[in-house]
Amino acid sequence: MWIENALEPQGNCVEGTGTRPERLQKLIGQEDWTHFSNDHQKQLSDVVLSHEEYFMLNNKEIGTISGEPAHIAVSDPNPCKSPIYPYPEHAKMIVSQMLVDMEERGVIEPSNTAWLSPIVLVNKPDGSKRMCLDFRRVNEHLSANISVTLS
């Protein structure tokens, strides 16, 4: 079983030399946009290039969110600990490698929380796997009135 790290760019990657916009332009040239009109291809290319900071060109470019940590209001403060779903040994090893990789890249960090949500492997259309967390039990503890302020 192959489990693909969903945090890595899907499809083509552009490594090597050149400025970031040059590498992004090269990646755009590799994509098949023939189902768009020439005018729409140009518009899409312009949008991608004008927002180049939002596109990963390799798996080392993933960013993190800075600022204040999120505070989540819960109606029931007693932590829930969902059972861990069973997986074959080889799948556990691959998930472990994915977790180590994400920790080394600063995407995740160790936690000592009493709240526990199980890992779920989800099939992607191409047959690879995406690692997710099943937060259904946690969601049952959330307060109904949650507001998010975007800056």
Q: How confident is the model at residue 119 (pLDDT cuts 50, 70, 90)?
A: very high
pLDDT surpasses 80 at 100: yes
How far, in Å, are 81, 95, 102, 137 from residue 87 at the CA level? Answer: 18, 10, 20, 20
pLDDT of residue 22: 86
Q: How confident is the model at residue 128 (pLDDT cuts 50, 70, 90)?
A: confident
Q: Say which residue, 138 or 59, is predicted with more confidence.
A: 138
Q: What is the pLDDT of residues 40-98, one digit of tens each?
A: 999 998 998 898 888 877 767 776 677 888 788 888 888 888 998 998 998 898 889 88
Q: What angle do CA 137, 140, 145 make, to 5 degrees?
A: 145
pTM for the model? 0.58
The proportion of the chain whose per-residue pLDDT surpasses 70, expressed as a percent, equals 83
> At the top level of CATH, which class does the domain 70-146 belong to?
alpha beta
Domain ranges (residues) in the chain: 20-54, 70-146
CA distance 62 to 55: 9
pLDDT at 6: 41
